[in-house]
């Protein structure tokens, strides 16, 4: 039967130098000294902390790399195709404008 220490009663101490390197890392509730005077004392806990940090990095990338649907087509368009689409759109707009003017003439004729 192990002794459990309440979170508020245990100490967690982290000391870093100006470059961000860990000098001392103490966690009384989970293994005691992990890093002391820049030397790793508890290899198992150190590996566990490194794994957690790696998981955090991958989790932050996961949102950006996520696909909504694997079967969804790729929506990227090259420049040539984009220019063709713009030309088709402008041709369609011209045709619609011509049809609108014809409809206006028909409506005026019906009003008379």
pLDDT at position 7 over 90 = no
Q: Is the pTM of the predicted complex or chain greater than 0.85?
A: no
Sequence-separated (6 or more) residues with CB below 8 Å from residue 30: 45
Beta strand 39-40 with 12-16: parallel, antiparallel or unpaired? unpaired
Reported as a single tens digit per residue, the pLDDT across 44-85 is 999 998 999 999 998 888 877 776 666 666 667 788 888 888
Domain spans of the chain?
8-50, 78-112
pLDDT for 19 beyond 80: yes
Q: For residues 109 and 80, give the distance between their C-alpha atoms in angstroms, rounded to a whole number.
A: 44
């Amino acid at each position: 039967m192990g002794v459990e220490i309440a979170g508020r009663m245990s100490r967690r101490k982290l000391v870093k130098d100006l470059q961000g390197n860990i000098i001392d890392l103490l966690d009384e509730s989970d293994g005691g000294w992990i890093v002391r005077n820049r030397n790793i004392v508890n290899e198992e806990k150190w590996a566990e902390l490194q794994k957690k940090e790696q998981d955090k990095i991958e989790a932050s990338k996961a949102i950006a790399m996520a696909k909504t649907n694997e079967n969804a087509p790729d929506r990227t368009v090259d420049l040539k195709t984009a220019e063709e689409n713009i030309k088709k759109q402008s041709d369609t707009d011209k045709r619609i404008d011509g049809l609108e003017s014809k409809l206006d003439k028909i409506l005026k004729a019906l009003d008379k």
